[in-house]
Structure 1
Amino acid sequence: MAYFYLLSLSICFLVLHGCFAQIEQVTRRTRLPHQHRFQTVCRLDNLNAQEPSERIESEAGFTEYWDQNDDQFQCAGVALLRHTIKRRGLLLPSYSNAPRLFYVAQGKGIQGAVIPGCPNTYQSPLQFGNRRTQQRIEDSHQKLRPIREGDILAVPEGVAQWIYNDGENQLVLVGFYDTLNEENQLDQNPRDFYLAGNPQEQSEQRSRGQSHRGEQDNNGNNVFGGFDRRCLVESLNIREDLVDKIQSRREDQRGNIVNVQDDLQLIAPGREDDEEREDRQQEGRRENGIEETFCTQRLKRNTDDPQLADFYNPRAGRATTLNSYVFPVLERLQLTVVRGFLYKNALVGPYYNLNSNSVIYGLRGNAKVQVVGDNGDNVYDGELREGQALVVPQNYVVLKRAENEGFEWVSIKTNDNAITSQLAGRLSVIQALPVDVLQNAFNIDENDAFQLKNNRNEAGVFSPSESQSQRRRD
């Protein structure tokens, strides 16, 4: 009897130990990204609105890079680039060491994302050969997504992505890399691993973290370029001359965006694809947490639909937030997206991010932006224009006021459930404090304290005050 009692007790301890180990593993996975970010020393006494510091030309477009070694981007743990793809241009397949988000700022196209280990679910007939020997075979590949202006594309680390411009105008994408994400086990340099082509200039500059390019070796810069030819012949079971083309030796100078002579023959849903229909169907419906698997997870969400706005003011504008609750793949990426629209002279703020750094990218128009640090000093007081990016560190207070043309922006925040705290308006800390506390804290009379607390009853986005509107008309 004692033996069976001890055996049962031992089994219980083993089960409990396994449970505690799993709990510890989940807890460490939740905390690690934030602990990792604390290892960076931040010097943020003077912020600047940043523009791209380098432009790399390709055959069918160009790519612009912000300075990844700038203190602001180093502190936030992010890197930025912007792809401009001409009509019938193809951004070559690549994967990265860090999670990526792309915002479609202009145009339309098709995105392919290859998730390792997942099946090819799109199937179509393919004809090849000359007219006499033309054959018909079945082609299969992973899911394709039609993309358009306003879309957010989520690309987890290690997932290979390619993009094709099938529209009539340029396709412009702004890319954000979360280099301090725990899934990045290399270093803080964003590294794109290309599967094709010879994007020499791009990979040389970014992988070495240098502003000037050095001498190239004889191999191409896609991942096949460094392998021995005979090993690839055997691995891929193809001819040697075909291996030479795949390795893209020095003679291939097309860059990372290449021309497609004829339109790509692709099968894809219509412009309103199944993901968008599912998104609308899920509005107002509770999910049970198992709708998405790794292979079927949604990687795209549009942010321009006014009906999705979290804050809307017909006199001021609107703001839409995508976090892991409404866009589940963001839990893996540990990122949040905010898309904002401000009308002429309207405001956002002041507010601060409780648990994340933020990068604000100007899409259209311009705004006066002010940022205040922990010691009350103004660390940024200037204009943020279209095409510029500004880092706002965690807990720094920011205020935005649109100028005459209005202002549109997208913000990327380094937490999948980024939370903000308002310091003005109906949902603010000020309105949550008792009048007596405000009166004594600011050394003001009761009437002034009441006005301070209640004079702005809007939330999120604010319309211009009457005095401000009158001053602008004058």
Structure 2
Amino acid sequence: MAEQWSSDARVALKSDGGKLEVWEGSGVFEELGVVAGRTMLKRRGGGLVGIFISLDDRKTRESCFKVERGDVVAVPQGVALWWYNGGDDELEIMGVAHLADNRHTKPFLVAGGKPDEQSRRGFGFGAVIHGFSSGVLSRASEMDKSSVRDVLEGQSGVGFVKVDEDVTFPDATSAFDRNFIYRLREIHPDVRVQNGGEGIRELSSYKLPILRTLGLGIECVHLNKGAMVAPNWFHGSHQILYVVHGRGRIEVVDPSGERVLDEELEQCSLVVVPAFYPSTKIASSEESFHYITFVISHRRMISYLSGRNPVYRGMDRLQLNN
């Protein structure tokens, strides 16, 4: 039963510069239209992200932001962006897309080399400019065919490219951080757990308005050894849970009262929990448990079966006894 709810990542793309792993396409993943991906950029530490903001056909503006551990970067479908890791640690980027309304959506590259044999076995990655004829590219870019050919032949690497040390990047800015980036680690927990860890940090469209467009929300949970999140369910929102660090366990119960998942989780585990399926997460007695949950709703609503404010508190004794 666990195979329907969790999935092993598939390496879709790999090179000297990093790799892309993808969870998709079976059991609950396929039914709910969920795709998750993890990108690892070699050379370790903080990095940069560049976002190209197109204003119809009038102007395209590039904004470059510095990103750090725990930052949330939210961009609409179709927006072009790049990532760069210039630190001393591996840069891990975890992303989720909900494609229930558009299951034919596919990512593509606007720069880089032609698709190689490995990328064809993955997502078929290769820069889309190689698909156009030299005549079209020459006319569109107002360059002669020889110059177009030089540009195409100069494109190397598929997906990941190691850049020279002397390459410069745009200066990082904070002018548009409020539109695309949220420093989730810098805020105080929204829910504190006494003796249970750092608690729960929530991110919704109230704090980052672009999440309304994406229909997504996030919660970040840190539990101490042996701590537990009380059994709860999300209102109309599917959950995609990813383990950042540590070990723990998840139990999921379906609306008929049957336990459909009881599984140990460790670092890099990923599980999908459908809406209205009560679940609980419990940290190992030997390790703390840190996970993030991507919520398929821009406004997270949740009810608990126990704890400080359970649904039973609103019922009178006669209802509970019967």
Normalised by the length of structure 2, the TM-score is 0.90
Shift of 1:117: 1.3
User: Which residues of structure 2 form unaligned runs of 5+?
Assistant: none
Q: Does the CA-based 8 Å contact 2:127-2:158 persist in structure 1?
A: no
Amino acid at match of 1:235: A
Listed one character per residue, the Cα deviations across residues 434-455 of structure 1 (whole Å, up to 9, x for unaligned) are 22322x23xxxxxxxxxxxxxx
1:374 pairs with one of 231, 252, 255? 255
Which shifted more, 232-241 or 314-323? 232-241
- Aligned partner of 1:76 in structure 2 is 32
- Aligned partner of 1:193 in structure 2 is 108
1:302 pairs with one of 183, 192, 197? 183
Q: Does the CA-based 8 Å contact 2:126-2:159 persist in structure 1?
A: no
After the TM superposition, list the runs of 4 or more consecutive aligned residues in structure 1 that deviate by more than 6 angstroms: 118-121
- Aligned partner of 2:83 in structure 1 is 163
Is 1:422 the counterpart of 2:304? The answer is yes
Distance 2:180 2:153 in 1: 30
Q: Does the CA-based 8 Å contact 1:110-1:165 persist in structure 2?
A: yes
Q: Does the CA-based 8 Å contact 1:357-1:393 persist in structure 2?
A: yes
Listed one character per residue, the Cα deviations across residues 49-94 of structure 1 (whole Å, up to 9, x for unaligned) are 322133521231111122x22121112221011111112xxxxxxx
Question: What does residue range 234-245 of structure 1 map to in structure 2 within 5 Å?
Answer: 234-245=139-150
Shift of 1:243: 1.9
Amino acid at match of 2:192: Y
Whose helix fraction is larger, Structure 1's or Structure 2's?
Answer: 1
Shift of 1:253: 6.3
1:267 pairs with one of 155, 170, 178? 170
Query: Bigger radius of gyration, 1 or 2?
Result: 1
For the structure 1 residues 171 and 231, does the alpha-carbon distance in structure 2 shift closer, same or farther, using more than 3 Å as the test? same
Amino acid at match of 2:305: L
Shift of 1:198: 2.8
Is 1:345 the counterpart of 2:226? The answer is yes
Distance 1:166 1:190 in 2: 31
Shift of 1:432: 1.9
Amino acid at match of 1:299: F
- Aligned partner of 1:116 in structure 2 is 54
Q: Does the CA-based 8 Å contact 1:190-1:206 persist in structure 2?
A: no
Distance 1:377 1:145 in 2: 46
Distance 2:64 2:120 in 1: 26
Amino acid at match of 1:328: P
- Aligned partner of 1:229 in structure 2 is 134
Shift of 1:47: 4.0
Q: Does the CA-based 8 Å contact 1:199-1:256 persist in structure 2?
A: no
Aligned to 2:29, the other structure's residue is in SS state: helix
Distance 1:46 1:202 in 2: 26
- Aligned partner of 2:193 in structure 1 is 313
Distance 2:98 2:157 in 1: 28
Shift of 1:199: 6.2
Q: How many residues were matched structurally?
A: 317
For the structure 1 residues 112 and 393, does the alpha-carbon distance in structure 2 shift closer, same or farther, using more than 3 Å as the test? same
Listed one character per residue, the Cα deviations across residues 249-298 of structure 1 (whole Å, up to 9, x for unaligned) are 9xx6622010101253123247xx4566xxxxxxxxxxxxxxxxxxxx61
For the structure 1 residues 108 and 372, does the alpha-carbon distance in structure 2 shift closer, same or farther, using more than 3 Å as the test? same
Q: Does the CA-based 8 Å contact 1:120-1:143 persist in structure 2?
A: no
Shift of 1:314: 4.2
Shift of 1:382: 1.2
Is 1:358 the counterpart of 2:239? The answer is yes
Aligned to 2:157, the other structure's residue is in SS state: coil
Listed one character per residue, the Cα deviations across residues 123-176 of structure 1 (whole Å, up to 9, x for unaligned) are xxxxxxxxxxxxxxxxxx521110011011111011001011111111111111
Aligned to 1:74, the other structure's residue is in SS state: helix
Question: What does residue range 427-442 of structure 1 map to in structure 2 within 5 Å?
Answer: 427-438=309-320, 440-441=321-322
Distance 1:221 1:246 in 2: 15
- Aligned partner of 2:123 in structure 1 is 206
For the structure 1 residues 248 and 423, does the alpha-carbon distance in structure 2 shift closer, same or farther, using more than 3 Å as the test? farther
Normalised by the length of structure 1, the TM-score is 0.62
Shift of 1:301: 0.7
Distance 1:48 1:334 in 2: 22
Aligned to 1:356, the other structure's residue is in SS state: coil
User: Which residues of structure 1 form unaligned runs of 5+?
Assistant: 1-43, 88-105, 122-140, 208-219, 277-296, 442-474
Is 1:384 the counterpart of 2:265? The answer is yes
Distance 1:247 1:174 in 2: 30
> Once superposed, what is the RMSD of the aligned Cα atoms?
2.5
Q: Does the CA-based 8 Å contact 2:238-2:274 persist in structure 1?
A: yes
For the structure 1 residues 319 and 235, does the alpha-carbon distance in structure 2 shift closer, same or farther, using more than 3 Å as the test? same
1:151 pairs with one of 67, 71, 83? 71
Q: Does the CA-based 8 Å contact 1:177-1:190 persist in structure 2?
A: no
Distance 1:263 1:358 in 2: 43
Question: What does residue range 386-465 of structure 1 map to in structure 2 within 5 Å?
Answer: 386-403=267-284, 404-438=286-320, 440-441=321-322
Q: Does the CA-based 8 Å contact 1:363-1:410 persist in structure 2?
A: yes
